[in-house]
Amino acid sequence: MKLGGRARMKICLFLDVLVTLTEVAGTLVLGSLLLGENFLKGVYDFLLFSMNIHGHIQERNGDSRWAKAIANISDLLLALGFFTIAGFGFTRLTAFYPTENLNGAWIFAIEFSAIAVNLICTNFLKPVDTINGASARLKLRSGAWLSFSTMVSGVLIYFFHCAWLDPVASITAGIGGGSVIMFNLYQKDILQKYCQFLKDITIAIWIFRHGL
């Protein structure tokens, strides 16, 4: 039986939830900042991925304009989520950072599994040839990037026992992921359009409050 795009996206969403549950367990047991942020991003991605499923349905129903808006907004929110991750990393780096619970080997194992699931799901969604299908694949690839950063930090912590590498990896992953997504939006002129939209809204509010 050939699976449709909506069914494929729902299967990937379910698998992503399972990965997120393993990350929250790792966060509670190990105390890793990046694992915690992977969990939070997993919850965030669940919402964005759900938007993409709705957008995919709209696109299949012929409402391409609304579907495109959903995809672009979800990608923009994804980029903002990455910059938030970097912000958390800066905050944690400048505060006291406990080292006793961090276990690099477990961090590596959890995130290696997460990368595998994200990449398998990305390939599984290739037949979904809609704008929101592409946007959903971006969520999965970004999840793999964050998991890769966490995995690398796990290896370094395992060999060098430097817990401060955890927030450093968080900062690197957040700035790197967010910048790449924002650059892609800029290339498609999407970022400029939203900036102009926000500018128009700001002007309209100012006129409403102060009069012409």
- The CA distance from 96 to 32, in Å, is 13
Number of domains comprising the chain? 1
Predicted TM-score (pTM) of this structure = 0.77
Angle in degrees, CA 60, 53, 38, rounded to 5: 155
Q: d(Cα 51, Cα 56) in Å, to the nearest integer? A: 9
Angle between helices 131-160 and 5-30 (to 10 degrees): 20
Q: Supply the pLDDT for residue 33.
A: 63
In a 13 Å sphere around the CA of 20, the CA atoms on its Cβ side amount to 18
* Cα 188 from Cα 195, distance rounded (Å): 13
Measured CA angle at 168 (ends 31, 47), to 5 deg: 65
Task: Report the pLDDT value the prediction gives residue 100, as an integer from 0 to 100.
Answer: 47
Torsion angle of C-alpha atoms 143, 70, 12, 129, degrees rounded to 10: -110
Q: What angle do CA 176, 181, 184 make, to 5 degrees?
A: 125
Which residues span the domain enclosing 126? 5-210
| C-alpha closest to that of 132 among 47, 53, 14 | 53
DSSP tag of 130 = S
Please list the rounded mean pLDDT of every run of 10 residues in the chain (212 residues): 78 86 73 68 84 89 83 87 86 62 69 88 88 90 86 78 77 89 77 63 63 53
